[in-house]
Amino acid sequence: MPADFLQGLLPDHLVFALLVALMPLEMLRVGAAWGRVLFAAVMLAGLGIALQQAGAGYAAAILPGEVRVDALALYGKAIVLGCGFAVALAFRDPGDFKFWLLSAGAVLGALLVLDSAGFAVLFIGLELLSLPVFGLMVIGRGRSAATEGAFKYLLMSAVGTALFMFGVSLAYGVTGSLAIDRFTAALADGGARMQAAALLVLCGLLLKAAVFPFHAWAPDAYASAGLPVTALMASAVKTAVVLALVRVFGIGPLPAAVTLAVTVLAIASIAFGNLAALGQTRFRRLLAYSSIAHAGYMAFVLVDTTGSRTTDLLWYTGIYALTTVLACASFARLCPEEDDRLEALDGKFARRPAAALLLAFAVLSLAGLPPFPGFFAKLLVFRSVIASGELVPAILAFAGSFLGLAYYLGIVVRLFRSDTGRTAAAAPMTPVAEDEAVA
């Protein structure tokens, strides 16, 4: 057991050690560059360890009924740590030392979520994941818009936690245990109270994942945060919360009521997110609505009954998370003045071709066009859902995915648009106040 505790949770120990080390360094006012170096090194080391353990087929019940390390946990950790490393690599100056301290706390919470075999550990991980993000959204921003977005995020996160815990309490009344395996087994047996508990737990997690109609916090939260924070929220945070759905509901068929709820919410989220993104004029708000649509695809995986739910979701979250970080980093390189108006992208290929090509690659992958990685992620989802006998929902979700092509392709067109003769070159547009953008 001690060996498993040290070996199985080694990535977690490294991130915890990073968190402890960053605290005195921050108090000593060490330069933020050192924080970035330490953060990147730990993320890369943890990523390598998680992949090595996953490749070796390592699995262990660290604390039976509470903490478990398996393939889902290890590959999920690899995605989260990879996102952390990508953020550190892509954003050289995201802010002061506190950014790396709070980011390490959020990553540690994500790792705990993935390790959870009981609802107590899952709850602690979700809170440790959410609270540092609230601090990241307001740190160094100094604007009422950032405060408003962060407050909405905190309030809705609290509502999601309340729904989640209410469902857990109902399940505990039925099973007499906080072990997730007992919850999954009781859910398979049916029963009105267990179905109610499952719906409450599902709604709590879908709210944190920003699935329609639990999405209201996402646009303002994404728009008010800096691009590094937006990248972290849309990648590592969303990955951990979505993978928690598989941890809680397993890979078996869900009750009819839960399956119907997931199907309706997933299709509605895909349609709403893509339609709402069409009218956006700012990159971060567009990314928020895009994330709502992609959360619908991720939730749609729960409909699968072929047993490939875990594999499909790992591929989807991994591809989505990394392409989102790439999109944010490329946009930051193209528009370093924090101007996130889409008009700022016009003609950028002529001046920064490498960053423009990377942004085009990222958004085309998010659109799901072949032969980009996002296409294969969606293909896995639709293949499994159709094989599960859900042909009509799959067709509706597939049709909804076409709605997103317009705004993704619009970004690519702007990058390669010639700005010759534009009146904006002679009379620059007056930047819109951040408060207006979030209103």
Does residue 114 contact residue 77 with C-beta atoms inside 8 Å?
yes
Q: What is the pLDDT of residue 279?
A: 83
Q: What is the pTM of this model?
A: 0.87
Q: What is the pLDDT of residue 433?
A: 42
| Residue 425 falls inside a structural domain | no
Q: What is the pLDDT of residue 140?
A: 58
Q: What is the pLDDT of residue 369?
A: 85
Q: What gap in Å lies between CA 233 and CA 84, rounded to an integer? A: 11
- The token duo for 179 is 């072990």
User: Above 60 in pLDDT, residue 437?
Assistant: no
Q: What is the pLDDT of residue 109?
A: 92
Per DSSP, the three-state class of 391 is: helix
Q: What is the pLDDT of residue 218?
A: 84
- For residue 371, whether the previous peptide bond is cis, meaning omega lies within 30 degrees of 0, is yes
Q: What gap in Å lies between CA 214 and CA 209, rounded to an integer? A: 8
Burial 338-373 (b: 16+ CB within 10 A, else e): eebebebbbbbbeebeebbebbbbbbbbbbbeeebb
- Give the mean pLDDT of 218-229: 83
| Residue 18 falls inside a structural domain | yes
- The token duo for 75 is 């590959």
Q: What gap in Å lies between CA 327 and CA 227, rounded to an integer? A: 10
User: Above 90 in pLDDT, residue 80?
Assistant: yes
- Give the mean pLDDT of 275-288: 87
- The token duo for 95 is 């802010």
pLDDT tens-digit profile of 290-307? Answer: 999 998 888 888 888 887
- For the chain, the residue count is 439
- Give the mean pLDDT of 65-78: 89
**pLDDT grade for 424, boundaries at 50, 70 and 90:** very low
| Residue 366 falls inside a structural domain | yes
User: How many CB atoms within 10 Å of residue 151?
Assistant: 17
Q: Which of 26-30, 199-203, 222-226 has the lowest mean pLDDT?
A: 26-30
Q: What is the pLDDT of residue 422?
A: 47
Q: What is the pLDDT of residue 392?
A: 87
Domain count, the chain: 1
Q: Give the domain range for residue 190.
A: 2-420+430-438
Q: What is the pLDDT of residue 192?
A: 81
C-alpha angle 48-54-59 in degrees, rounded to nearest 5: 130
Average pLDDT, the chain: 83
Closest Cα partner for 79 from 290, 297, 205, 240? Answer: 240
Q: What proportion of the chain, given as a percentage, has pLDDT over 90?
A: 16
| Residue 59 falls inside a structural domain | yes
pLDDT tens-digit profile of 298-346? Answer: 888 888 888 788 888 999 999 999 999 999 888 888 887 667 788 888 8
Q: Is 415 left (phi over 0), alpha (psi -120 to 50) or beta?
A: alpha
